[in-house]
Amino acid sequence: MIHRKVLRTVTLLAVVAGLFLPVQAQAQQLMALVTGGTAGVYFPLGGAMAEIWNSKVPGVRVSSQSSGASVANVQFLARGEAHLALIQNDIAFYAFNGKEMFYNIAQSRGEPVATIRGVAMLYPETIQIVTLRSKGINRVEDLRGKRVVVGAPGSGTEANARQILLVHGIFYSQIRPDYLSFAAGIDQLRDGHVDAVFITAGYPTAAVTDIAASRDVMLVPISSEKITELRERYPFYTRQVVPAGAYRGITAPVQTATVMAMLVARADINADLMYNMTKALWENLDRMRAAHARGRDFDLMKARDGMPIPLHPGAERYYREKGVR
């Protein structure tokens, strides 16, 4: 009799456990973080973020995915195909306000993506104009008539290339533009098929490090005058100097322009969950620093500096608690 009672009790517990475990699995929220090309900086940093969240935040499972970077990532968020994204701060502003590539010229109206929210400003993204010394390209003006990789269609890099060329009085009709990812562009530069490649990414960028190991590369500088003009037209840019030794063969500092990398999220992510994810990110910076050199640029006290769009309420709550303004 006692054995039958025990058996019934064990059976009941097993049934309850069998019912409970699937409910737990179903309650776990699956999220996609879109990053950038595998040769860039977004990809390893995104992988590290996913590892942090998966190990430190209960109830969430984040997958980090490569993509066409900033503009494409905003479109993934707008279509509901991703929940989080790494993008440039200029692209975030354009998307939220319906400007530039988010302006429908045919219909003369902006098409804002109002569903994105800021989570964190991360690190400077350097505009690197990479060429070979043998090409004789010493100034941006020397790109006229050259075959230039300006970035993948719809990428933040392409927007930067177009804007920088314009302040130098150069239109795409005056160069031979190739719309390739910078990884593909570097391959073309190595093989002698193109003359220069625009890259917007934190340095050192793996693709540039790779070509510098076998070719005599150089970075084309941007003058102080042109950076000032660039900032007057596009306020997201700042001045940056790539130090000597950033890549093999770069023996002197090179002045250029930069935008900022940032983490954004869909507005409809639960505020408590976003709070926990923001907290986990900033409290595990050792993992970000191990993922890429640019992880060392992450600074909690600067997480809101230059934020071009509204903050997600969950992230904002964390920053208030930490006194980050």
* Whether pLDDT at 30 is above 80: yes
Q: Return the closest-CA partner of residue 280 out of 58, 8, 12.
A: 58
Q: Pick the last residue of a domain from 232, 259, 286.
A: 259
pLDDT tens for each residue of 32-58: 999 998 878 899 999 999 999 999 999
Structure token pair of residue 243: 């130090």
* Other residues' Cβ atoms within 10 Å of the Cβ of residue 14: 10
Pairing state between β 238-242 and 254-266? antiparallel
Q: Is residue 317 part of a domain?
A: yes
Residue 1, pLDDT above cutoff 70: no
Per-residue pLDDT at 27: 67
Looking at the structure, tell me whether residues 279 and 317 fall in a common domain.
Answer: yes
Residue 143 and residue 251 in one domain:
yes
C-alpha closest to that of 283 among 269, 295, 300:
300
Do 60 and 173 reside in the same domain of the chain? no
Residue 107: how many CB atoms within 10 A of its CB?
Answer: 8
Asked if pLDDT for residue 20 goes beyond 50, the answer is: no
The answer on 118 and 135 residing in a single domain is: no
d(CA 226, CA 223): 5
Residue 3 lies in a domain: no
CA 87/CA 51 separation, integer angstroms? 19
What local confidence, expressed as pLDDT, does residue 123 receive? 93
Does residue 253 share a domain with residue 193? yes
Average pLDDT over the chain, rounded to an integer: 90
Q: Look up the domain containing 34 and give its range.
A: 8-123+262-322
SS3 66: coil
pLDDT digits (tens, 9 = 90+) for 229-253: 998 888 788 899 999 999 999 999 9
- The three-state secondary structure class of 259 is strand
Considering the domain architecture, whether residues 220 and 140 belong to the same structural domain is answered as: yes
* 295-305 residue pLDDT tens: 999 999 999 98
Are 151 and 268 in a shared domain? no
pLDDT band for 156, please (50, 70, 90 cuts).
confident
Tell me what the mean pLDDT of segment 121-136 comes to.
95
Distance CA 69, CA 84 (A): 12
Q: Do 251 and 307 belong to one domain? A: no
**Two structure tokens written together for 209:** 């490090």
- Count of structural domains, the chain: 2
Q: What is the CATH number of the domain that holds 218?
A: 3.40.190.10
Using DSSP's 3-state secondary structure scheme, residue 48 falls into: helix
Instruction: For residue 318, tell me if it sits in a domain.
Output: yes
Is 212:128 a contact under the CB 8 Å cutoff? no
User: Mean pLDDT over residues 249-277, rounded?
Assistant: 97
| Contact yes or no for 246/208 (Cβ under 8 A) | no
**Residue 194, pLDDT above cutoff 60:** yes
Residue 2 inside a domain? The answer is no
pLDDT band at 133 (very low <50, low <70, confident <90, very high): very high
Confidence of residue 22 (pLDDT cuts 50, 70, 90): very low
Which of the listed ranges 11-15, 22-26, 53-57, 106-110 does the model predict with the highest average pLDDT? 53-57
